[in-house]
Structure 1
Amino acid sequence: MIKSLIINPGSTSTKLGIFEDENLIKEETLRHSTEEISQYASITDQKDFRKNIILDFLKNENIDIKSFDVIVGRGGLLKPIPGGTYECTDALIADLQKGVQGQHASNLGGILAREIGDEIGVRSFIVDPVVVDELEPVARISGIPEIERVSIDHPLNQKAVARRYAKEHGKKYEDVNVIVVHMGGGTSCGVHKNGKMIDVFAALNGDGAFSPERTNGVPALALVDMCFSGKYTYEEMKKKIVGGGGFNAYLGTNDMRTVNKMCDEGDKKAQLVRDAFIYQICKNIGACATVLKGQVDTIILTGGIAHGKVITDAITERVGFIAPVTVYPGEDELLALAQGALRVLNGEEEAKKYE
């Protein structure tokens, strides 16, 4: 039995999971107030603060820190890398500290895992960080040479549910062709072929269907006109695209439960916007099916919005002719991180080295 401590830092919280093999023993969300976080000039400056909170929690729960066999952190904004489980090497930690693609709380995952792991003498890993990029060369061409399509989306959950589907059908992830649609605060639609995510409508980079708080694909020239209209600052335009777009912009909420309630109460605008969200998701799925030349084993719907049967049924009605639809609601990131470490420690795959 392998006992693991999973660390998933967010902007105002640190989620912890304690696993024995794949069995969740304890889960906790340690919340941090704005006042606490605002004391620190940078993300990395929060390291000792968050570490002490984690250690205090374990102590209060009478959990011996030395009882863990491995520490696993959420991966951060590293250089683009293939998917997999990565050892927390010096090079990886250095790039997390620098924030080579930006500063985000998830950068602390690997840093905390390495420090705690070193102190108790066990290995530390990150798994399938948001910068996983396995796009085929043809998928990178945007039409503007100065802009390359990249993959920054939801690889941890996308790959976890693809592996889950493969296992449930007696296969390996490398043996299936699936389309995975992650529907949460951001959306992404990924093409998984033989163990790699070879193309994606990315959640963060202005591509694909809009989401509860992101615009994603919009008419380019109209967007350029807005940017140069003089009405909006650079930061205001970024907020329109990420954070203030999508359902937030149309309906004033990023909570799909609220949107569904509005629809149930007969709000015609909410119904139209929700229908448009479903419509755009289905268009993305159809485009992804062409990448696989129609050879699709299943279409997987996942993320928090996949809890809504009205939405998953409507998507299934439109795309069920392409392939069977499988629904895995939610996103069990803690389990996905634990599974990544287990695959290495059980000898199913080798840990990758970040360079």
Structure 2
Amino acid sequence: MSKTVLVINSGSSSIKYALLDPDSGESLASGIVEKIGNPVGTITHKHDGEKFVVEEPVPDHGHGLKEVLRLFEEKGPSLHEANVVAVGHRVVQGGRFFSGPALIDDSVVQTISDLIPLGPLHNPAHLKGINVARELLSEVPHVAVFDTAFFQDLPEEAARYALNREVADKYSIRRYGAHGTSHQFVSQEIAKLTGRDDLKQIVLHLGNGASVSAVVNGHAVDTSMGLTPLEGLMMGSRTGDIDPAAVFHLARVGGMDIEQIDQLFNRESGFKGLVGDNDMREVWKKCEAGDQNAIDAIDIYIHRLLKYVGAYTAVMGGLDALTFTAGIGENDSLVRQRLLDRLAYMGIVYDPKINEIIRDPHPRKISTDDSSVEVFVYPTNEELAIARQAVTFA
């Protein structure tokens, strides 16, 4: 009988979930609980080609997860019959404590809690989901899979900032990275696809949040996100790289406090701050209409991508494979075209017709046979990656 894993990604006001067969990769069901704590919440459950939507008050995560379990029994598939052998939980911040998945016990829960200062937007929400799920599904092991784990063994030259050593160590300030589960999954799949485990790879995880990693022989050697997911590429609503002195300037000259600056950098910048919209489809429409702000924003976005690809190629001493993944990476052919055209000097050659394909769930190579670098579009699957790591504890 096939084994399945229930994967849970608990946010501050949502719970995403999926039931997967880690061996075949098949998703048997998936869904999301939204607007937890609002007067009316929404629960969407998908199974066997059908979608079921429930609108009702969801006062807390406990109520939301109980409703999810009810939908599994009423709409299918029954968790009792699906042979669920583990529950995998996404956790963003694992600090320097977790270099791989961890079987959740009280000590792991405490460590995740202790790491809240490093992951204040994510870890508290993950803990809510973990605590509720452990209570409701107590008969199976629960496993934490950390976004930071893949970057745990970054070289010191990449992980350490040039900050006073005592201060940095006292307050655990270093490069932790994020989206590690996606970067690890995609880089491993590209190694399988090419039949090579000695690749020098760059993975571009481009979504509303965006990051890039450099991977050599299956190990990450650099990544763009840092102490928090704010650093690195320009994103939907985040600044990405910015002079830290901008904080001092906004405080001294603009009279802004830390919370206001945090809000500005994380939620009111990026495409949202430059264009007024963080939906790339809308940004491109504005470009086509001649909106100079949108045109400038795309130029800034591509410029930042270009800098990181160039820098990481230099760090690795070469580049064998470049892969686009996540929502924008997989579905925005114009972003890929703009970047690859700028990388032609490296000998990268791609097929425009294959590049134009979007909404395709299958991996594809878009570079030509005479390209110096193989270029891929590979759909990420963080849920499957979590399931495969969690099942090792079953």
| Both proteins in one fold, TM over 0.5 | yes
Checking the alignment, whether the CA contact within 8 Å between 1:72 and 1:110 is kept in structure 2 is no
**1:124 counterpart residue number:** 142
Compute the TM-score of the two structures, normalised by the length of structure 1. 0.84
Q: Is contact 1:109–1:126 with CA below 8 Å preserved after alignment? A: no
Whether the 8 Å CA contact 2:17–2:32 is kept in 1: the answer is yes
The equivalences for 1:54-73 within 5 A come to 54-66=68-80, 67-73=83-89
| Alignment-derived partner of residue 112 in structure 2 | 96
* Aligned match of 1:27: 30
What does the per-residue CA deviation read over 1:288-337, in whole Å, with 9 as the maximum and x for residues that have no partner? 1122111x2211121211111000111122235273322225x4222221
Aligned counterpart in structure 1 of residue 127 of structure 2, from 107, 124, 136: 107
For residues 218-258 of structure 1, the C-alpha deviation after alignment (integer angstroms, 9 at most, x for no partner) is 23434422222143121111112111111111111111111
Offset at 1:61? 2.0
Map of 1:327 onto structure 2 = 377
Q: State which of 52, 69, 73 in structure 1 corresponds to 2:66.
A: 52
Determine helix, strand or coil for the equivalent of 2:67.
helix
Q: 1:11 aligns to what SS in structure 2?
A: coil
- State the percentage of identical aligned residues: 24
What is the aligned residue count? Answer: 333
Deviation at 1:154, TM superposition (A): 0.8
| Aligned partner of residue 378 in structure 2, secondary structure | strand
The offset of 1:23, in angstroms, is 0.8
Match of 1:277 in 2: 301
Distance 1:68 1:222, change over 3 A: closer
Once residues 102 and 280 of structure 1 are traced to their aligned partners in structure 2, the CA distance between those partners, rounded to angstroms, is 25
Q: Distance in 2 between matches of 1:77 and 1:111?
A: 17
SS at match of 2:152: coil
Distance 1:36 1:88, change over 3 A: farther
Aligned partner letter, 1:84: G
Return the offset for 1:160. 1.2
Change (3 A) 1:244 1:161: same
Unaligned runs of 5+ in 2: 42-58, 348-372
Deviation at 1:33, TM superposition (A): 4.0
**Within 1, Cα distance between the matches of 2:20 and 2:220?**
27
Task: Give secondary structure in 1 for the equivalent of 2:94.
Answer: coil
Alpha-carbon distance between aligned partners in 2 of 1:195 and 1:245, rounded to the nearest angstrom: 33
- Structure-1 residue corresponding to 2:102: 86
Q: TM-score, normalised by structure 2?
A: 0.76
C-alpha distance 259-237 of structure 1, shift in aligned 2 (>3 A): same
What is the CA–CA distance in structure 1 between the aligned matches of 2:97 and 2:340, rounded to whole Å?
Answer: 32
Residue 71 of structure 2 aligns to which amino acid in structure 1? F
* 2:192 paired with 1:141: no
Deviations 1:148-199 (Å, cap 9, x if unpaired)? Answer: 4312321011111111111212345xx4331112112222111122332221
Deviation at 1:95, TM superposition (A): 2.4
Contact 1:181 1:302 in 2 (8 A): yes
- In structure 2, relative to structure 1, the CA distance for the partners of 1:262 and 1:233 (3 Å cut) is same
Q: Which letter does structure 1 place at the counterpart of 2:223?
A: V
**1:149-298 mapped onto 2 (5 Å cutoff):** 149-172=174-197, 175-202=198-225, 204-294=228-318, 296-298=319-321
Kept after mapping to 1: 8 A contact 2:247/2:261: no
